[in-house]
Structure formats: structure tokens, C-alpha cells
């Protein structure tokens, strides 16, 4: 085997042995804020499908709790921003909604007043907070993928405490409070304590609101500025023969299609325990309720908190904390599958769940040992069943101290399945706002540059983008097993010329956490050496006599190397191969395009015979001969 060919095969083998995709990782310990003394409490996390989003939280500033937001951009939480600088009152109950393009809505209480701050899009800053209603509390906010937002809240209306709604249109930056209350009986209080409202907004911009009122959970649709006149009572009379009682703690998540949603809530049954019940909204009717807490009947303990999330396509996950554990149930093909225990959970822990458009789902909880743990699922649309929970992953670095249940926790997921949980840890130096979660590796991609022979020794190499939502990727180009350049673009022009021959190459994409994906190895074929040839002209150089020309050409890098194709042994010594011949006899006659030709000059005189040989890469060698044709006697 020739030495250069051996080196080529060795280099190719090394590149092929390298992993094309590095494994995705759970990560822990991104500190967003702190350490600080005093109040630090998570309110809400929301992440849009494009990966932009924010966490809204409360932190002491000058001895008074105020509203702060850290925006998620390019896969990282940014420096905190205080949004209530002009408001002297103590901030509380912050909630946030995000849609594509950096649009954000943050609702919060300042003193006894409900306010909302809007960030219209990524380029523009947050607008000054808009005061909505005095005496309001318990806000819940959601926004469609197109930027239509709703806030449900509890405020004075027909009674001292009623459930109300405010709406912001897609092209607007201010909210309008709807005049109608949502209560079934406006004269009685609603939306208090565990009966606080929850709202979900479909892609088309209509909303569904759930709330607790007089021991019942009710649902009502909102169409733009119009409130439905047909509220629905979600309490179930019985499930599997077990009589149901009072209900509270509602949650709601909706598909892109407003016709479909899932509601979850707590309801007491005749075993004396609180259970988690789920009901599917289909059109204008809720289907029968079902237990989704995995506790069995009779239950060993009451359920605590619950959460539900579905994707725009209807896949979903619900989680319940109960009996010192976290149980989660998956929704697949419009059905709930039996719940399974994910792991331990503190009795006061609020479970956090999220699901991506690709079917990746997550459940996180705060554990009795003060750690925050998360488990992932990969729901396949092509399979009838669902997977069990993945291994528990710790998100809270122990060096920051235990996570505080009173500090809150929430979870957000983008469309690709990248997940962020945000929580508060209390340790050395004070409290820290910490983020951890799952970061998917860059997607598979391929190179574009042709493997055909080329004569340019410093070619422009091109490739497609690797899929990545969380920040820009860096691309490293490797040729012959050696890195030759890095860029964030999708092309690179080589700074140094390549030698003639065949060069294995690939591109490696690296994300912000060092995870990589690589293209398949391809070959760069470089031939910058023109072909060589010899010619032999025979015959009498007289007018009317036949001359014969034969051309013998070679396109080898190494003189006298054996000929062959670029993929056979010895090919490294060979060029791209002879592609064409051109013989111009210099008398304006037809040009011959073969390596042998014959010609008769009709007139005597002096002519320039021009012979050119072109190889596959485009290199051309030209030879000119001056011929004197004598007059025939």
C-alpha cells in the first residue's frame, strides 16, 4: 500500500471513530441571582417555543420585596431587571407568560394593586407597569403563540371577591379589564385560597378559565372580550362508584386547537381523601373524570399540590405530590395512562411539569432532603404506549445549601425539549436563585461542499445549520484529523492551501455547554496540477496532404504514477483524470475533440496548431506548434 493512501485511510478511520453526537446532559447550578439576605421567592417561569422566556421573582430591595425578572436569551438567563422601580409597595404573586420573539407579560401585585408589565418584543424594553385593578390578588397569565394574552385574577365585583379577566390583543401593549365577572353566582365569593383561578390560551387566542367557588371547580371560556354564558361544573358525582365531594386547586392546559384542553383539580371522595381528577375538554363538553394521582382507592394520603401541561398537539403530563412522593401520569393519544411514582417529594412541594412539541416531558419536585430532582420522558407519537420515568437527576448543587419549599419552584420547556427548573437554595452567604435542567445537544447536520475534484486549493467549505435553540453554535472544521478553523457561520474559506490529493473532512458543532454534534466524514478531492501530455504529428506538411496527430496525456500528481480512479489503491498519487482534448488546426476549420485526429490543409502557409488538454478539476495545459505547409507541386 502506498504511504499516502495508508495515511488517508488512517485519518478517515480516526474521524469515523469519533462520536457524531455527544450525549445531552442534565445540568445544575446556574446562579441567576444572589447570594442575598432576606426575601427571595420564585413566582413563575415560562418559556416560549423559540426558547425565549423569563423567570419572575420577588427579592428584597431596600428592605422591601420588589419584582425582578431574568430573561432567558440564547440559552442563558440574563442579568436581573427590577420592573417596579416606580412602585413603592411590596411586590408579590408574580406570574409570567412568554411567546415567540421575546414578547413577555408579567402580572404582579404591588401593595394591594394588580399591575402588569409588557415587553412587546425582543428589541424593545419592558414598558412601565400598567395598573389594572385595586384590591386584586391571585393572578394567572397565559399568552397564545401569536401574542394574545389574558390574565385571570380575584378582585371586587358582584361580591368582595370575584374572578375577573383582562385581555391584551396581539398587536397591543396594554390590557383591558373585561366588564363581566366569571362567577357562577356573582353575589358569592370566588377565586380564594385553593380556589384561585388558572387560565390557558389557545393558538387562536381564546381562553379557558378554571376557578374554585363554593366547594366546586368551574370552567368558562373567554372569546376575545366576550365571556361565555355557559359555565361548567367540573366536580364529578362519582368515579368507579366512589362518590365525590368538594373540589379545589384547579389547573388547566390547552392545545393549539381551542376545542381541546385538559383540566386537573383536587376532589374529595368517600374514602375521606383528596384525589387528583382530570377531565378532557372536547368542543364544548368535558368528558368523564378519571383519577390520575396513582394513589389507588382508598388512598393512603391526601394529594397535595398538582400541575398539568400539554403540548399544542395534545400530548401531556400531570403530576401530584402526595404521601411524600411525586406521582406523574402521561397523556398520549388523548388518554391518560396510569400514574407512576417519579421519586420522593416534600409534603409542601409544588410539582413542576412541562412538555415540548416533540414529546419530551419532564416532572420536577423539591425532595425532603432539600434537593431538587427532575425526571424526563420521551413520548413517541408512533408508539401506542408511553415510557416510564427516566432516572432522577439532581439539579440543586449541594454547596448552595438546601432548596426552600417556601422559595417556590417552576419549570419551563421550549419546543425542542430543553428544560429549565428555577428554585431558591439557602446556603453559605444567603439565598440564591438557581436554574438547572436539560440541554439537548445540537441536531444532526451535513456538509454541502461537493466531493468532486476541484482545482481550488483554498476552497470555501459550506454546511447546513445544526438545529439548536439555546444560543449560537460554534463550528469547527477538521481536515485530515486536524482543526483548521472555527466560525459561527455556515461556511469557511481555508486560510492555507491544501496539497493535491484526497482529504477527509468534517464539521463539529459545539453548543454553549460544550456538547457536540458532527457531520459524517466526507472527502475533499483537490487537484491543482495541470495535466501533462505529449503529441506526435506525422505526415507530409504539404497542401492537400493528410496529417495525423496523436496526443498522449497524463494527470498524475507524481510523475509516472499508475493511473486509476480517485477511489482505488494508488489513487492518492493520481489526479482527477483527463476530461477532454481540443485540437485547433489554426485554419478556421472544425476543432477536433479527440486525442487522435487527422487534417488536410487546403492552402499553403504558416499555421499555429493549438493543443489543449483539460482535466476533471478544470486545470488546462496548452501547447502551441508553428506549422509551415508547403505548396503542392
HSE toward the beta carbon, residue 174, CA cutoff 13 A: 5
pLDDT beyond 60 at 569: no
Instruction: Work out the average pLDDT over 33-59.
Output: 97
pLDDT band, residue 347 (cuts 50/70/90): low
pLDDT tens, position by position, 611-624: 999 999 999 999 99
Q: Identify the CA nearest to 478 among candidates 20, 1, 57.
A: 20
Query: Other CB atoms closer than 10 Å to residue 562's CB: what's the count?
Result: 13
d(CA 30, CA 437): 10
Instruction: Work out the average pLDDT over 22-32.
Output: 81
CATH superfamily of 3-20+443-526: Immunoglobulins (2.60.40.10)
pLDDT tens, position by position, 434-446: 999 999 999 999 9
pLDDT beyond 80 at 6: no
pLDDT beyond 80 at 563: no
Provide the pLDDT for residue 343. 86
Instruction: Work out the average pLDDT over 380-390.
Output: 93
Determine how β-strand 91-99 pairs with β-strand 103-110: antiparallel
Rounded to a whole number of angstroms, the distance between the first and last alpha carbons of the chain is 61
Determine how β-strand 501-510 pairs with β-strand 198-201: unpaired
What is the b/e burial string over 322-361, where b = at least 16 CB atoms within 10 angstroms of the residue's CB?
Answer: bbebbbbbbbbeeebeebbebbbbbeebbbbbbbbbbbbb
Average pLDDT across the chain, whole number: 92
Query: Other CB atoms closer than 10 Å to residue 584's CB: what's the count?
Result: 18
pLDDT band, residue 447 (cuts 50/70/90): very high
pTM of the model: 0.87
Q: Identify the CA nearest to 356 among candidates 390, 392, 309, 319.
A: 309
Provide the pLDDT for residue 152. 99
Fold designation for 532-629: Immunoglobulin-like (2.60.40)
219-222 long-range CB contacts below 8 Å, 24 or more apart? 219/252, 219/263, 219/281, 219/286, 220/182, 222/150, 222/165, 222/167, 222/178
Spatial neighbors of 566 by CB under 8 A, at least 6 apart, are: 453, 502, 525, 574, 576, 577
The DSSP element (H or E) to which 123 belongs, if any, is: none
Total length of the chain: 633
50 within 8 A of 121, measured Cβ to Cβ = no
pLDDT tens, position by position, 72-104: 999 999 999 999 999 999 999 999 999 999 999
More confident residue, 343 or 84: 84
User: Cα separations (Å) of 239 from 84, 109, 235?
Assistant: 47, 39, 11
Spatial neighbors of 330 by CB under 8 A, at least 6 apart, are: 315, 316, 317, 336, 337, 361, 377, 379, 386
pLDDT beyond 80 at 561: no
Q: Identify the CA nearest to 548 among candidates 538, 562, 558.
A: 538
pLDDT band, residue 115 (cuts 50/70/90): very high
Residues paired with residue 163 on neighbouring β-strands, in sequence order: 154
Per 3-state DSSP, the chain is made up of helix, strand and coil in percentages (nearest 5) of 5, 50, 45
Q: Where in the chain is the domain with CATH 2.60.40.10?
A: 3-20+443-526, 532-629
Provide the pLDDT for residue 585. 98
Amino acid at each position: 500500500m502506498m504511504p499516502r493512501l495508508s495515511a488517508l485511510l488512517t485519518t478517515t478511520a480516526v474521524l469515523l471513530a469519533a462520536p457524531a453526537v455527544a450525549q445531552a446532559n442534565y445540568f445544575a447550578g446556574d446562579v441567576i441571582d444572589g447570594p442575598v439576605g432576606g426575601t427571595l421567592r420564585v413566582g413563575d417561569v415560562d418559556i416560549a417555543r423559540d426558547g425565549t422566556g423569563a423567570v419572575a421573582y420577588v427579592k428584597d430591595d431596600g428592605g422591601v420585596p420588589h419584582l425582578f425578572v431574568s430573561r432567558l436569551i440564547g440559552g442563558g438567563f440574563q442579568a436581573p431587571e427590577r420592573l417596579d422601580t416606580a412602585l413603592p409597595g411590596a411586590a408579590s404573586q408574580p406570574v409570567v407568560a412568554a411567546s415567540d420573539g421575546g414578547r413577555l407579560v408579567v402580572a404582579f401585585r404591588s401593595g394591594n394593586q394588580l399591575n402588569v408589565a409588557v415587553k412587546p418584543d425582543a428589541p424593545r424594553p419592558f414598558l412601565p407597569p400598567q395598573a389594572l385593578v385595586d384590591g386584586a390578588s391571585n393572578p394567572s397569565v397565559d399568552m397564545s403563540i401569536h401574542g394574545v394574552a389574558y390574565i385571570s385574577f380575584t378582585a371586587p365585583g358582584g361580591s368582595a371577591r370575584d374572578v375577573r379577566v383582562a385581555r391584551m390583543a396581539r398587536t397591543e401593549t396594554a390590557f383591558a379589564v373585561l366588564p363581566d365577572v366569571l362567577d357562577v353566582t356573582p353575589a358569592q365569593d370566588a377565586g380564594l385560597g385553593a380556589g384561585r383561578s388558572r387560565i390557558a390560551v389557545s393558538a387562536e387566542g381564546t381562553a379557558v378559565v378554571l376557578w374554585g367557588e363554593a366547594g366546586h371547580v368551574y370552567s368558562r371560556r373567554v372569546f376575545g372580550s366576550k365571556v361565555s354564558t355557559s359555565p361548567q361544573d367540573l366536580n364529578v358525582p362519582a368515579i368507579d362508584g366512589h362518590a365525590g365531594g368538594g373540589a379545589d386547586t384547579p389547573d388547566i392546559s390547552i392545545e393549539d386547537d381551542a376545542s381541546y384542553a385538559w383540566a386537573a383539580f383536587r376532589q374529595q371522595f368517600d374514602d375521606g381523601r383528596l384525589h387528583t381528577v382530570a377531565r378532557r375538554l372536547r368542543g364544548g363538553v368535558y368528558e368523564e373524570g378519571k383519577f390520575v394521582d396513582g394513589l389507588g382507592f382508598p388512598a393512603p394520603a391526601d394529594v397535595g399540590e398538582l400541575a398539568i401541561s400539554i403540548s399544542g398537539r395534545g400530548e401531556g403530563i400531570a403530576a401530584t405530590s402526595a404521601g411524600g412522593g411525586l406521582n406523574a401520569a402521561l397523556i398520549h393519544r388523548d388518554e391518560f395512562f396510569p400514574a407512576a411514582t417519579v421519586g420522593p417529594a416534600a409534603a409542601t412541594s409544588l410539582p413542576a411539569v412541562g412538555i415540548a412539541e416533540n414529546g419530551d416531558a419532564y416532572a420536577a419536585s423539591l425532595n425532603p432532603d432539600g434537593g431538587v430532582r427532575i425526571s424526563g420522558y420521551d413520548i413517541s407519537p408512533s408508539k401506542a404506549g408511553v415510557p416510564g420515568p427516566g432516572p432522577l437527576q439532581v439539579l440543586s448543587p449541594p454547596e448552595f445549601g438546601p432548596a426552600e419549599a417556601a422559595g417556590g419552584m417552576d419549570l419551563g420547556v421550549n419546543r425542542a425539549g430543553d428544560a429549565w427548573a428555577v428554585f431558591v437554595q439557602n446556603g453559605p452567604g444567603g439565598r440564591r436563585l438557581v436554574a438547572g435542567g436539560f440541554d439537548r445537544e445540537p441536531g444532526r447536520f451535513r456538509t454541502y461542499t461537493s466531493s468532486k475534484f476541484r482545482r481550488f486549493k483554498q476552497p470555501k467549505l459550506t454546511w447546513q445549520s445544526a438545529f439548536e435553540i439555546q444560543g449560537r453554535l460554534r463550528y469547527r472544521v477538521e481536515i485530515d484529523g486536524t482543526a483548521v478553523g472555527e466560525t459561527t457561520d455556515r461556511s469557511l474559506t481555508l486560510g492555507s492551501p491544501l496539497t493535491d490529493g484526497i482529504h477527509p473532512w468534517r464539521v463539529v458543532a459545539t453548543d454553549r455547554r460544550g456538547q457536540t454534534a458532527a457531520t459524517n466524514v466526507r472527502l475533499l478531492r483537490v487537484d491543482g496540477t495541470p495535466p501533462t501530455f505529449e503529441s506526435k504529428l506525422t505526415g507530409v506538411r504539404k497542401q492537400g496532404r493528410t496529417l495525423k496527430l496523436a496526443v498522449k496525456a497524463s494527470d498524475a500528481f507524481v510523475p509516472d504514477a499508475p493511473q486509476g480512479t480517485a477511489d482505488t489503491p494508488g489513487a492518492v498519487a493520481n489526479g482527477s483524470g483527463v476530461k477532454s482534448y481540443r485540437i485547433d488546426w489554426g485554419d478556421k476549420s472544425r476543432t477536433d475533440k479527440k486525442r487522435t485526429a487527422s487534417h488536410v490543409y487546403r492552402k499553403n502557409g504558416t499555421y499555429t496548431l493549438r493543443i489543449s488538454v483539460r482535466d476533471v478539476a478544470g486545470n488546462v495545459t496548452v501547447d502551441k506548434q508553428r506549422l509551415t505547409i508547403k505548396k503542392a507541386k
